[in-house]
Every structure is written in structure tokens, then in C-alpha cells.
Structure 1
Amino acid sequence: MLLYRAKNFFPTGHTANAQRSAKETSSFLSPFYSLPCMNILENPWFFISLWMGGAFLAALLAIKLRVPVAIVEILVGAALSHFLDLSQPTEWMNFLSKLGATMLCFIAGTEIEPEFFSQSWKKHLLSGSFSFLVPFTAIALITHFFFQWQPAQSLIAGIALGTTSIAIVYTSLLERGIENSSLGKTLLASCFITDFGSVLTLGIFFTHWELSSILFGLFAIILLWFFPKILRSLLRFLKKSPVSEPEIKFVFFMLTFLGFLASMAKTEPVLPAFILGVLAANSFSQDQLFRRRLRAVAYSILTPFFFMKSGFHISFPMLVIGFIPLLLLTFLKTCFKIIGVLPYLLLEKHPLKESLFGSLLTSGGLTFGLIAAHYGIQNKILSREIYSLITLATLLSTLIPVFLAGLLLPRGEVPKEKKVFVKKELGEYEEEG
């Protein structure tokens, strides 16, 4: 089954040259793998030190280049996998990357402002729904009928490129001091609905619906219903022993147990993790120190495994072979995001410049897009070539539109009461977007 034909976009000679180049690269590195010292790659201690060293290097480059560290981690992971000629990740790498993705979804859910969202979600339901459904539907149809991808592959492409990022939007609004404006509140509420729609769609289409799935799903729903009722009082009690960090242990227990229920229900653990984060948002907003400690654990150890593992499967030759479809996917996502968001912002009587700014800003989305693509290649739905196209398009559609949005509405003077907050909190949102 041929999922993607590069000759549809390039002459056969270009494809052959790229394949020959890849083989030459492999043959160039292959003599080094026969050396005795290369056996140390089988040592897990060395391998994890190499992996965390790559994460540290990515952090340094991100600071120097002033780009999101997640993007650099993805590229470092791709470079490591190609240089070391590792065709398949180890089982513990797969598990840690899944745990990192689950933590990212949980933290993304905690970014929601509960009081504001409970008051405005009905008002912004339409904008958030169109923000996801328009690019999702368009990209799924185009990749299926024009690229000749299989239905499941097209659905994953639509989900991955239909997402947005609360972290990117919130950070950009903070930088301009307009997070509490009408435009800021509209974008944040729409982002939550968009992200929830993407996670829900992934769960609906790729859950193996059986009686056991329904039973485990109902048990997870009951557990989630009780969670906010006990969390606040439990956190007050757990603070009596701050040294052992019992609150963080409790969060990890809930996430891993819900992940177990999700696996038994034959679905992805990101959906209950995201809902759990939303339910915990109120408690997190009242305890900023707890939020920072949990993020420190997640962003320093777990999320690098997810982002670097996301880069693990990227095929660099696809930058040459699939250059045109890559640009086409990036262009399609940006255009259909604007089509889905811009009319609503104009109807809300926002100026055209601000409406374009908000529309471009919602095009950026790393976490949920990468999670959808990662699910596809993890479950052998996507080939490495298609995965590379989706992942690289996700990166480009995050960098280019957000850069253009910054040109439309440059950073203004942030109010004095906001300056300390931005300086203190901004790094927390880098990891996702």
C-alpha cells in the first residue's frame, strides 16, 4: 500500500537522488558502529545521559535563538536519531514520551481560568468549534483525495493541524498586556474549546469501542467527577508535609491511574489527563507555588522525552522530497484557521488588524498536534514520511503565523503591574509553545 507518492510533486530523479543521499549518509556512519565503543549505546545509563544532554543543549539553543524550547528539542531528537542510526526507540523511551505527553495535556488544562470560562464558554463555543472544525475538515479531505492518504491518516493530519496552543496565545497576550481585554478573553476561551475538540476527536475516532471500553470509560468519568470535590481539602492536608511533595505524588498517581483506565478502554490517556487538568485549574490558580513545582518536574524531566521522541521519527530527506506538500500543508492550516476565526472576531466588532492578529495567533499549536501525530506513528497508522510531513508542517505553522502576528501587533508597553508577572511566568509557557 503506497500512502504517499513523492513523484506526484517531483520528478523521479529528485526522489532517487534523495534516497541515494540517505544511503550514502548511512554508509558514511556505518563504520563507526562497528567500533567497540559504540556498544555503550546499549547501556541505558549512557543513553539517558545522551538524551538529557541533548535536552540541555536544546535549552541553551532556545535561549540563544529566542525560540520555543520544544521546537529545538524536536530538532535535536531528530538529529540524534539520524546520527546514531537508531531505527526504533526503546520501550522505556516510548513509555516516558507517553508520560510526558500526558503531563503536557494535564498542564495545558490547568491554564484555563475557571471562573472566566464558566461565564463565557457558551458565548465563544461557536468560534472555538469553527477554529478546529474548519481546518480539520479541510485538511482531512484534501490529504485524502489529493494526497491519496488513507482515511485514518487523513483524520490524524486533520486533528494535528487543526489544533491551537493555549500557551502560545496566552504568552503573546501577556507580552502585549491585553490578556484581560475583550480580544484576549475571546481568544483564550476559543483556544480551550479548540484543544478540547481536538483531543475529543482523537478519542472518538481512534477508540476501539467495546463493552470493556465503555465500562472503563464510565469508571474514569466517575473518578473525574469526584476529583475536584476532594482535591482542595486534600491539598490543604498534604501541605503539612511539604518536603516529601505529596501533592505532586498525588497528581502523578491520578494521571497514571487514569492512563491505566484509558489503556484498558483502548483509547489515549491524553483525554482524561486534559479533563483532569481543567478540573484542577481552580485549585492551581489558588496555589501558584504548587503549579511551579509541578511544572519544574514535568518540564525538566518528562517533556523533553516527548518532544525529542517526536523528532525521533522525522525523516530529513522529506525536507527535499516533500518540500512542496510541506509548504502546502502549512499554507492550508494557516488559511483555514483564518477562515475559521477571522469572521467571528470581526462580528465581535474587533478591528481588522486585531482580528488578523488573533487569527494568525491561533494557527500555532505544538502540543496537541504532536500528540496526534505521535499517536499515528506509535500505532503504525502513519509512515515515517507522512509523520515527517505532519510534524514539520506543525512546526512551520507555529513559527511563521505567530511571527506574522507579531508584525501586525508589535509588543506594546506592558502595564507595570504586569511586568513582574511576565518576567516570572513567561518561561513556563515556552515548553509547549
Structure 2
Amino acid sequence: MDNVWMVASVWMGLAVAASFISVRIGISVALIEILVGVFGGNVLHLQTTPWIDFLASFGSVLLTFLAGSEIDPASFRRHIRISIPIGIASFLLPFVGAWLYAYYIAGWSFAAAKLAGIALSTTSVAVVYAVMVETGLNQTDIGKAILAACFVTDLGTVLALGILFSGFNPWMVVFLVVTAVALVCLPKLTRLVLGRLGGRVQEVETKFLFLVLFALGALATVAQSEAVLPAYLVGLVLAGVFQHTLVLGRRLRAIAFTLLTPFYFLKAGLYVLLPAVRHNAWLIGVFFTLKMVTKVAGVRPLTALFGYTPREGNYTTALMATGLTFGTISSLYGLSHQIISQTQYTVLVTVVILSALVPTLIAQRWFQPRVDGAASAGDVKSVSDEI
């Protein structure tokens, strides 16, 4: 199809349809966009174009940046004793388990097995954050501890993707040095831009942040790394700035979720082959079970160690087993760089979709803690005592 406006209208039409469905049934719009993308690829036989590929790539970078900026630094420091062990276990066991199974039993290449480990180690900040807000648990200490643990898990995922698939060359040294300097300087520089030029119709602060993401992404690409790595780290160091500049965060989210991420998630679904899902249903089931078992083995004992009640422990474990955004980012990265085949991509993304749905439904249906109005003021035990 040569008419660029017709192509854009078809893709945006699918995005609008996904939004309607999401509002109607109350499931994450990102998940629905992936499923609609599956329909577009298998039924409508849609293809991507260079400009769609760019919008989708920038969507993944901006989404990664926003995920990092969602972390409340004060809350993370307050729950660091709980969140770091849970987050590390939530990343490490699924990563190693999926990697070993894919390589030694499923017969995937060493690189493809590493990619599988990364894709299935994730926890979905988007899904967990939505659940926290919907239930009111984001105002409680147990909810904040879960979100902080999600940050640790996803940081491990992003670092693994950046490190294990980077080409170590002189440009990598330049990239690491420039990124380190940028991370140190950006909070003060961003506050300066906001203070002197923010809030104007020119949107200088938004363009400034886009420039930073573009420049670091370009340097990461030259260094044979991945643009989501500096984006996530920039989001983390600017999280404190965003806590005091809510309007800027809302603008960036509006840009991301209106224009960019629909193209990313639709494209992610586009490459899922339904015949491959049918022919590899057993492998999908094995990978999904492996992710759930390793998440439970890693997280559940630690919740008991930190004094969670069984209900709280099961709820925390189920939410830490979710996956969506970074799972699809990792999988699409592997497909785009020919690390995995389209069939392997289909297997991984299908597992990611299942992990976004099943643990969330289990957590909400059977283990959701009851929220008391005063619960957010105490420690984790204060929520426990109300259950």
C-alpha cells in the first residue's frame, strides 16, 4: 500500500479499536494492542514500513524511560531491604531457568536461549502499577514495596539485555562514559531547563528530553548496544524531578500512549504466527510453567522471611510473575537482530501474554489484600494486621 495516509489510518484504526476493547473489558491496553496486532498480521496481512518501524522503536524507548521515571526514590529507599532481595530473585531464577531449558532441552542456540531467559525474567511494571492504582494498594507500604521490587527486576532485565548482547568495542567505552556523565548531570540540567524555559508553548523541556533520548540511543546503536538501556537509566535518575513536575510526566505519557506505543505493541503482535502457536503449544506451556515455578520459588520464600502473611505473600508472588512490556521489547529486539526466529518469537510473546493475564487474575481473584484507610501510614506489618 503506497498511500502513507491510508497506512496510518489503518494502524490508528486498530489502535482505537484496541482502546475501546480495553475500556470495555478492563484489561491493559498494551495487551489488547498486541492481540489486535496478531489479528492484523494473521488476518489482514499487514506489513510494517520504515516510518512505522521508527515510531515503534521510539515508542519502546519512551515507554522504557517512563517506566524508570515512575519509581518514587523516597519509597524505594524506604523499602530497599525488602525490594532488592525479592527483585533480584524474581529476575535471576526465571532468567537462569529459561536460559538453561531453552539451550539444553529445547535445543535453541546459545544466543537465542539467553534472549529467552531475558524475555521471561521480566515483571510488568505497567500491569502491576495499574492493579495497584485500581485497588488502592499503591498508597500502602506493601503496594509500594511490590512496585520497588518490580523496578529491581526490570533493571536486571534491561542490564542483561544491554550487557549480554552488546558488542564490546571502542565505541562501547565512549557510550559508557557519555552515559555516566549524562546520568550525573541530567537531574540538575533538567531542573534548570524546567525552571527557566518550562511551561511555555514551545515545549522546550519535552524537546530537550527527546534530544537526550535520541542522542544516547544513537550512541548505544553505534556501540552495538540497545537504546532502551540508557532510556531506562535516564528515567531512573530523573524520577525525583518527575515527582515534582507532574504536568511534564502527563504530557510525555500522552505522547507515548497516543502516538508511539500503539505502533510498538501492534507491531509486536504483527509477528506472532498463529500456526506456530498451535504447533508449539506444548513448548509455550512448558515455558509458561517454568516462568511461574521459578518466580514462585524465588519470591514466595522471601515474602515469608520478611513477615508477610500467606495471603500477602501469594499476592506479591503472583504480581511479580506478570510480564508484558520488557518481555515484548526483549523478544522484538531478538527478532529484529535475527537472534531468534519468528517461530521462537511467537513462543516467547505468547508466554509473555499469558503471564500478563493469568497471574494477575489469580492475584485479584484469590489473594488481594484488603485496604484499610490507615494502612498506608504504617509498615508492611500494618497491612498484615488488617487481614
TM-score (norm 2): 0.93
1:276 to 221, 230, 234: 234
1:113 to 55, 61, 72: 72
Q: In the TM superposition, what is the alpha-carbon distance from 1:181 to its structure 2 partner?
A: 3.4
Distance 1:416 1:142, change over 3 A: same
Question: What is the one-letter code of the residue matched to 2:84?
Answer: L
Question: What is the one-letter code of the residue matched to 2:8?
Answer: I
Q: In the TM superposition, what is the alpha-carbon distance from 1:215 to its structure 2 partner?
A: 1.5
Q: Would you say the 8 A contact 1:217–1:265 is kept in 2?
A: no
Structure 1 segment 48-59 matched on structure 2, within 5 A: 48-59=8-19
In the aligned structure 2, how far is the partner of 1:122 from the partner of 1:354? 17
Q: In the TM superposition, what is the alpha-carbon distance from 1:416 to its structure 2 partner?
A: 11
Q: Would you say the 8 A contact 1:177–1:414 is kept in 2?
A: no
Q: Would you say the 8 A contact 2:324–2:355 is kept in 1?
A: no
Q: Would you say the 8 A contact 1:177–1:412 is kept in 2?
A: no
2:184 to 225, 230, 235: 225
In the aligned structure 2, how far is the partner of 1:240 from the partner of 1:74? 35
Question: What is the one-letter code of the residue matched to 1:126?
Answer: P
Which residue is 1:184 aligned to?
Answer: 143
Q: Would you say the 8 A contact 2:38–2:271 is kept in 1?
A: yes
Q: In the TM superposition, what is the alpha-carbon distance from 1:180 to its structure 2 partner?
A: 4.2
Question: What is the one-letter code of the residue matched to 2:276?
Answer: M
Which residue is 1:98 aligned to?
Answer: 57
Q: In the TM superposition, what is the alpha-carbon distance from 1:382 to its structure 2 partner?
A: 1.0
Structure 1 segment 379-398 matched on structure 2, within 5 A: 379-398=337-356
In the aligned structure 2, how far is the partner of 1:82 from the partner of 1:136? 30
Rg: which structure is higher? 1
In the aligned structure 2, how far is the partner of 1:260 from the partner of 1:398? 31
> What is the CA deviation profile of residues 25-71 of structure 1, one whole-angstrom value per residue up to 9, with x for unaligned ones?
xxxxxxxxxxxxxxxx1221111111111101110111112111111
1:129 aligns with 2:93: no
Which residue is 2:29 aligned to?
Answer: 69
1:144 aligns with 2:82: no
In the aligned structure 1, how far is the partner of 2:186 from the partner of 2:347? 39
The alignment of Structure 1 onto Structure 2 pairs a total of residues equal to: 376
Which residue is 1:47 aligned to?
Answer: 7
In the aligned structure 2, how far is the partner of 1:207 from the partner of 1:215? 13
1:155 to 74, 91, 114: 114
Q: Would you say the 8 A contact 1:177–1:415 is kept in 2?
A: no
Q: Would you say the 8 A contact 1:111–1:166 is kept in 2?
A: no
Stretches of 4+ moved more than 6 A in 1? none
Question: What is the one-letter code of the residue matched to 2:170?
Answer: L
Question: What is the one-letter code of the residue matched to 1:393?
Answer: V
In the aligned structure 2, how far is the partner of 1:287 from the partner of 1:385? 43
Question: What is the one-letter code of the residue matched to 1:142?
Answer: Y
> What is the CA deviation profile of residues 173-213 of structure 1, one whole-angstrom value per residue up to 9, with x for unaligned ones?
33333334342232122111100000000011100001122
Bigger mean CA deviation after superposition, 333-342 or 409-418: 409-418
TM-score (norm 1): 0.83
Q: Would you say the 8 A contact 2:67–2:235 is kept in 1?
A: yes
Give the aligned CA root-mean-square deviation in angstroms. 1.9
Distance 1:240 1:56, change over 3 A: closer
| Contiguous gaps of at least 5 residues in structure 1 | 1-40, 419-433
Distance 1:75 1:111, change over 3 A: same
1:85 to 25, 45, 60: 45
Q: Would you say the 8 A contact 1:139–1:154 is kept in 2?
A: yes
Q: Would you say the 8 A contact 1:176–1:414 is kept in 2?
A: no
Q: Would you say the 8 A contact 2:124–2:356 is kept in 1?
A: no
Q: In the TM superposition, what is the alpha-carbon distance from 1:315 to its structure 2 partner?
A: 0.2
